[in-house]
Structure 1
């Protein structure tokens, strides 16, 4: 069974902000001749990495609600220049919108069981991603998303 992570997306006001940030970072890697991949650096290494890699996702909490996720393709522990243990969570750069799920603020990341994770939003007749971000937030605040 897949295991996921959940984390606050600090600095992003919307899924669109996150997508823009990802595109900028990928382009920056291209310009520098570095591997073109998206990752997030964290201090703690998930002890259950084998349950997460290639089958789990990181669910992003934006403005108090889970709004999207990214599939985790690798977890790479390393030591930084000061010798402190850190970890790169490497993602598929595709951002998948999810049903909004309210979450209180917390520090770091947490494990998230698949059964507790919000469902993906399909592209069918309910294209929530096409609703302007401000209106999506208002609808979510009213419990309509």
Structure 2
């Protein structure tokens, strides 16, 4: 089972902002100073994006090539896969996520409107309504 990672979609204010990062791109590379210690386990896993304190989407991880300046790239497939929103506390950088704790992908027949916005879902969970 591959290992996954989570990262805040810093700068994205909405789903449309996050999706816009992927439009018309043939490759997606994020840069980090340090190579994750468990990077070999993450190839074939996914990077899960945190937006509004919820995991909302994932992108499969292709590899961890070295950048010319000595840092590392996290190379992702240039596609976003929507997932069932799962509450996630904010953090700096990236964190590991096991397969058991990863949210399920949304199916093709589930429209984006079928999923509650993160803040609303959090409030309803706090009230014990969902």
Larger-gyration structure (1/2)? 1
- What's the offset of the Cα at 1:37? 1.1
The 8 Å contact of residues 68 and 98 in structure 1, kept in 2 or not, is answered as yes
Instruction: Could you list the structure 1 runs, at least 4 aligned residues long, displaced by more than 4 angstroms after superposition.
Output: none
Deviations 1:2-51 (A, max 9, x none): 10011111011222211112226x2xxxxxxxxx3111111221122221
Aligned: 1:66 with 2:55: yes
The 8 Å contact of residues 22 and 79 in structure 2, kept in 1 or not, is answered as no
The 8 Å contact of residues 35 and 72 in structure 2, kept in 1 or not, is answered as yes
Q: Which residue of 1 aligns with 2:75?
A: 90
SS at match of 1:115: helix
The 8 Å contact of residues 6 and 60 in structure 1, kept in 2 or not, is answered as yes
Gaps of at least 5 residues in structure 1 are 27-35
CA distance in 2 between counterparts of 1:107 and 1:47 reads 17
Q: What is the root-mean-square deviation in Å for CA atoms of aligned residues?
A: 2.2
- What's the offset of the Cα at 1:101? 1.0
Q: Which residue of 2 aligns with 1:14?
A: 14
Gaps of at least 5 residues in structure 2 are none
Greater helix content: 1
Work out the number of aligned pairs and report it. 126
CA distance in 1 between counterparts of 2:68 and 2:22 reads 24
Aligned: 1:122 with 2:103: no
CA distance in 1 between counterparts of 2:121 and 2:12 reads 17
SS at match of 1:22: coil
- What's the offset of the Cα at 1:139? 4.2
CA distance in 1 between counterparts of 2:2 and 2:118 reads 29
